A = this chain, B = another copy of it.
Amino acid sequence: MPETFAHLLEFFANPRPEREYEIKIDAPEFTCLCPKTGQPDFATIRIRYVPKARCVELKSLKLYLWSFRDQGHFHEAVTNQILDDLVALLAPLRMLVEGDFWVRGGIKTVVEAKYQAK
């Protein structure tokens, strides 16, 4: 697993921490490298979460997602990595990350991972 760029992610204070509300983010311009062949992979990353004290700042999220461009990742690893990095930063009430990858070798793959605060 290559090093991650979680340090690029920034947050701002949730403007209504006392209210349970939902934020839905779609990022259709994600690209990384295949860890076996080095060839580029493309995906849409979908994020849905209910914040507690923190919200992810969108420009930093864009830079964070761009930082995968030259790294090799399995589809399953990158989707879980994004979920882990965002959970570590935000400690949300709950979060879903879906990696929807383009066809490779005639095969299309979607990975969906969830987090629920205890």
Q: Report Cα–Cα, A106/B29, bound state, in Å.
A: 6
Q: How many copies does the complex hold?
A: 10
Judge if A51 is at the interface, Cβ distance under 8 Å: yes
Is A23 a contact partner of B76 (Cβ separation < 8 A)? Answer: yes
* Chain A binding surface, main DSSP class: mixed
Q: Count residues of chain A with CB under 8 A from any CB of chain B.
A: 55
Q: Which A residues between 24 and 74 are near B, CB-CB below 8 angstroms? A: 24-29, 31, 36-37, 39-40, 42, 51, 55, 57-59, 61-62, 65-66, 69-70, 74
Give the shortest distance, in Å, between A80 (CB) and chain B (any CB): 4
Question: Which residues of A are interface residues toward B (Cβ below 8 A)?
Answer: 1, 12, 14-16, 19-29, 31, 36-37, 39-40, 42, 51, 55, 57-59, 61-62, 65-66, 69-70, 74-77, 79-81, 84, 102-115
